[in-house]
């Protein structure tokens, strides 16, 4: 099984077949417009600009499961992203990434690449640990998405190559993308 076997809803609620990604390298993210990590949109758009002509795509899935940080409608989220950060990569319908209503694509992504911890030394790592351990003391033991801006790198064959937590350095992600395009 690979990501090409899934269908997701675009911003307008229309089904999109991920088979259209065949032969492309993709970065699939869950995002939020009111998060401390939201400025990552600048780096993500730069990545998209630099590699889209080499067969690179970003698929952005807003999610309101973490701190109620994506409360807007699909249209409001897309408008915010394009006007504030100049986002030109596709933004899909808002989804859940964890729990019984989790988008099947994200259930698959988590199954393929579970949580391996947050980058040590990042100033937000202890903050995330504190928030998560209060809500779920054994959070490190589950594959669940832990916060907004978790990213999954997909190769040209639809295989999940790597999972990056929100505190991961964008330069490392770019190095991995360069290896695959």
pLDDT value at position 36?
Answer: 87
Question: Under DSSP, is residue 171 helix (H, G, I), strand (E, B) or coil?
Answer: helix
Distance from CA of residue 132 to its chain's centroid? 18
pLDDT value at position 2?
Answer: 95
* Token digits of residue 167: 């505190």
Encode pLDDT of 81-97 as tens digits.
999 999 999 999 999 99
Encode pLDDT of 109-146 as tens digits.
999 999 999 988 888 899 999 999 998 999 999 999 99
Encode pLDDT of 33-84 as tens digits.
999 899 999 999 999 999 999 999 999 999 999 989 998 899 999 999 999 9
pLDDT value at position 121?
Answer: 87
95: which DSSP letter?
Answer: B
Is-catalytic flag, 81? no
Catalytic residue among 35, 81, 95, 167: 35
**Environment class of 17 (CB within 10 Å of its CB; exposed 0-12, middle 13-18, buried 19+):** exposed
pLDDT value at position 58?
Answer: 98
- At residue 173 the predicted structure's pLDDT band, cuts being 50, 70 and 90, is very high
* Token digits of residue 93: 């319908």
């Amino acid at each position: 099984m690979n990501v090409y076997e899934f269908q997701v809803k675009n911003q307008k609620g229309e089904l999109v077949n991920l088979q259209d990604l065949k032969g492309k390298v993709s970065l699939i993210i869950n995002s939020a417009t009111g998060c401390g990590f939201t400025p990552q949109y600048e780096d993500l758009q730069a990545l998209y600009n630099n590699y889209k002509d080499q067969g690179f795509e970003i698929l952005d899935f807003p999610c309101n499961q973490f701190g109620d940080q994506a409360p807007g409608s699909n249209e409001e989220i897309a408008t915010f992203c394009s006007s504030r950060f100049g986002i030109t990569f596709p933004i899909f319908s808002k989804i859940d990434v964890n729990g019984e209503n989790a988008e099947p694509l994200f259930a698959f992504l988590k199954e393929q690449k579970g949580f391996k911890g947050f980058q040590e030394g990042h100033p937000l790592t202890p903050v995330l640990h504190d928030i998560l351990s209060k809500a779920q003391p054994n959070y490190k033991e589950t594959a669940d998405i832990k916060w907004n801006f978790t990213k999954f790198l997909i190769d040209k064959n639809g295989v999940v190559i790597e999972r990056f937590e929100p505190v991961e350095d964008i330069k490392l992600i770019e190095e991995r993308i360069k290896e695959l395009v």
